Amino acid sequence: MSLLRSVTIQDSGPQKQLFFKRFENGGSADMNVNGSVTPVVFSVSPPAGEVWRIASWSLYVQDGGTFDAEKWGNGITMTNGLLPILNIGGTDYDMLEFTIKTSGDLSSVCDGLNHLAFGTGDEIVTAEWDFISKGQYVRLTENDSIKLVVQDDLTGLVKQYSLIKGYKE
């Protein structure tokens, strides 16, 4: 399921269409997949003729039980991890010097991490990378993409997905 919502804003310059877009693999945004044997690539990219400015990238993880800083969700051991990649003009660039294997790893690289426990039911972790706080948007054309590669078995999670927020030029 693709999440695409947009509004138009007006600032001192031309109007910009804002959007939220989930990463997908074969039309599915559900990242609770088994990528342990064959990595599963989730990506997002502009359609032909569009240029996007990405303000932030976020990750949502939902699982039953208590989250662990040294594991993923409620006790998943990742040996290969999640690999964030920026693809510009067909060339992949690793966004980190390591893969994300634990909630602690995620906490160390994101700008904001929230751990939500409502007393009963599942726990949720959300994390966000804010590109604007680093001085710029990430610019994507139709030949570019942002990818998140799942390289472990995450089928034990209740839910995981990733999305970007930005505007169309």
User: What CATH number is associated with residue 72?
Assistant: 2.60.120
Q: What per-residue confidence (pLDDT) applies to 3? A: 43
Q: Give the chain's radius of gyration (CA, Å).
A: 16
DSSP state, 137? P
3 state SS for 45-89: CCCCCCCEEEEEEEEEEEECCCCCCCCECCCECCCCCEEEEEEEC
The tens digit of pLDDT for each residue in 9-26 reads 445 566 678 899 999 999
Sequence-distant (6+) residues with CB within 8 A of 6 are 17, 18, 19, 168
Residue 8 has pLDDT above 50, yes or no: no
Report the domain count for the chain.
1
Domain that includes residue 73, residue range: 4-168
The tens digit of pLDDT for each residue in 62-107 reads 999 899 899 999 999 999 999 999 999 999 999 999 999 999 999 9
CB count within 10 Å of CB 1 equals 9
